[in-house]
Structure 1
Amino acid sequence: MHEQRARGDRPIDPEEADARDGFSLSRQEQGEVEHKRPPRVAVLHETIRLEGETELGRSLSALAWSALAAGLSMGFSMLARGLLHRHLAGMHGAFLVESLGYPFGFLVVILARQQLFTENTMTAVLPLMTHPSLRKFGSLLRLWSVVFVGNLVGTALFAYGLLHMRLFDEATRAALLGIGAEVMANTPLQMFTKGIVAGWLIATMVWLVPAAEQARVSVIVITTYLIALGGFTHIIVGSVETLYLVFAGALAPGGFLLHFALPTLAGNIVGGSCIFALISHAQVRSDEAEAR
């Protein structure tokens, strides 16, 4: 049992008593221990929830411009991967290296705080789960609609410009077409199931970034690199890759919409919102219930 008194009749703080059960530490050292401990799950939840509240309250024009910028930025994930593929052709293990180009767009979007739809499947959902209401639900649909459309317009502009500006040689253009063809080799069911995993991984990344501090870049790179390695489908990056095929005449618009976009969009939402966000929210609620 902890002692009940120390130095006169001053009651002992439970944390001080716990500290004495271990090594003897100065107040400064105890502060260092607290600083180095990972944040509680509730702290991460509240950090992301407040970020979601901020996003839900932004004006339509601010959301639209930020979403457009994010769609354009995500095009660099395809471009970086295509350029690496072009210059590493024939090299053993080239796929492992070229997949390192995939995180580039995510780094730009997240560090520049642009609006990416698959991030919002996590951040913007937590406020609704915490305080459910029709008003919050309407704000969520508004945010999702504006950001998704803005992202798609950005990806379409990037893909069209990349094709028609004649920036690269035929080998690079073939590499870019090959990336889109690789995505379209999936069946609609695979688009959906792989989209679930991608949505889950993006939500995991969003959850980890606030706690990562100086390791934020590493968290973003490792998580999105895994998406590239697994060939998991992401609605925004995949839209650049497949719209490039559409503008090149290698894919019909209906094929883009029905075969790729709708199944992948559904999978990303299920993975990011219905699975990861729901489980994380339930975990925090359970912790709070036990603490009472």
Structure 2
Amino acid sequence: MNDEEAARERQAVAKRKDRESREQTPTTSEKSLTRKERASVAEHGNLSPLTVYSVVLREGEDELRRPNTSLWWSGVAAGVGISTSVLAEGIIRANLGSDHPYLTLIESLGYAFGFVLVILCRLQLFTENTITVVLPVLAEPSRNRFYCAARLWGIVLAANLVGTFLTAAISVHGGIIPADTFVAILEISRHVAELTPAEAFLRGIPSGFFIAAMVWMMPSAKGSEVLVIVMFTWLIAAGDFTHVIAGSNEIFTLVLNGEMNILTGLVFHISPVLIGNILGGTGLFAMLAYGQVHEEM
């Protein structure tokens, strides 16, 4: 470690000790409380933005160090798991019927199933990494960190798409999904395919923002993780926004069913959503999240 790095490390330690000292010092109103009562206040108090940032930052640094093989198989599993969202939507639509007055609002609850599965299983979903692995890069920009982030993004995105393609192939050719459910899945997929590239891109921006916000809220949502995931993924589906990985399963379903060319699906449907999700998750939320704590670090 050179002198500059040692000085930076000492400065970081000093800041951390000062912050811990301030957090541990009771306020005027707390001085009248017993130690047990002060511990209860601390337990039920909200996490500060800097604390949340530190938790997400640490997770991002851990992800950047994971080996390629681990990222790949976790990403494939996430692609398979997120396809549960489309399956659940199809099951709800098949049972309610396409003419149900509240079909969209009820059907959108099914969209949350795949996200709950993927996030609670700690699988690698590309849109989560638009904030998680970006914060370490913003905190310490370097050629190595840019390389590690690009490596992770590339592996996870490719693995997610392989996973959704496999589940689409099983849905189309596996014969394991009831006919009425498969018809409902095709109806949902055709609706996604009707969007122009510009519409797909613009609707991908809010989705990227919501997913990044969801990741940011997780450290503060202990015990309520499922509720947070369901709320925001329902909002994505009910608002008719687009998500690159869940949407890729719908596009691949149409490709494998002979209704769309694979190149058309990748270029005019998946790519615009991908760019929109990155812009919403990294360009908007990650920058804003970093900006609000930058001066406190």
| TM-score relative to the length of structure 2 | 0.89
CA distance in 1, matches of 2:133, 2:54: 12
The residue identity in structure 2 corresponding to 1:57 is R
Query: What residue is the counterpart of 2:12 in the other structure?
Result: none
> Map of 1:64-83 to 2, 5 A cutoff?
64-83=72-91
* Residues 15/53 of structure 1: CA separation in 2 closer, same or farther (3 Å cut): closer
The residue identity in structure 2 corresponding to 1:152 is L
> Map of 1:20-169 to 2, 5 A cutoff?
24-89=32-97, 90-169=99-178
Query: What residue is the counterpart of 2:7 in the other structure?
Result: none
1:25 shift after superposition: 2.1
Q: Identity rate of aligned residues, in percent? A: 40
CA RMSD of aligned residues (A): 1.5
> Map of 1:178-257 to 2, 5 A cutoff?
178-257=187-266
Number of aligned residues? 274
CA distance in 2, matches of 1:16, 1:62: 44
CA distance in 1, matches of 2:244, 2:24: 50
Larger Rg: 1
The residue identity in structure 1 corresponding to 2:65 is G
1:170 shift after superposition: 3.3
CA contact (8 A) 2:171 2:182 kept: no
The yes-or-no answer on 1:175 pairing with 2:184 is yes
The residue identity in structure 1 corresponding to 2:265 is F
The yes-or-no answer on 1:18 pairing with 2:28 is yes
* Residues 14/28 of structure 1: CA separation in 2 closer, same or farther (3 Å cut): closer
* Residues 57/91 of structure 1: CA separation in 2 closer, same or farther (3 Å cut): same
CA contact (8 A) 2:116 2:230 kept: yes
Q: Which runs of 5 or more residues in structure 1 are unaligned?
A: 1-12
CA distance in 2, matches of 1:76, 1:275: 28
Query: What residue is the counterpart of 1:269 in the other structure?
Result: 278
CA distance in 2, matches of 1:91, 1:14: 56
The residue identity in structure 1 corresponding to 2:33 is L
CA distance in 2, matches of 1:14, 1:65: 42
The residue identity in structure 1 corresponding to 2:73 is W
* Residues 25/65 of structure 1: CA separation in 2 closer, same or farther (3 Å cut): same
| TM-score relative to the length of structure 1 | 0.91
Partner of 2:100, secondary structure, is coil
Q: Deviations over 1:32-55 (max 9, x none)?
A: 111111101011111011101111
* Residues 15/88 of structure 1: CA separation in 2 closer, same or farther (3 Å cut): same
CA distance in 2, matches of 1:174, 1:14: 59
1:98 shift after superposition: 1.1
CA distance in 2, matches of 1:14, 1:208: 24
CA contact (8 A) 2:80 2:166 kept: yes
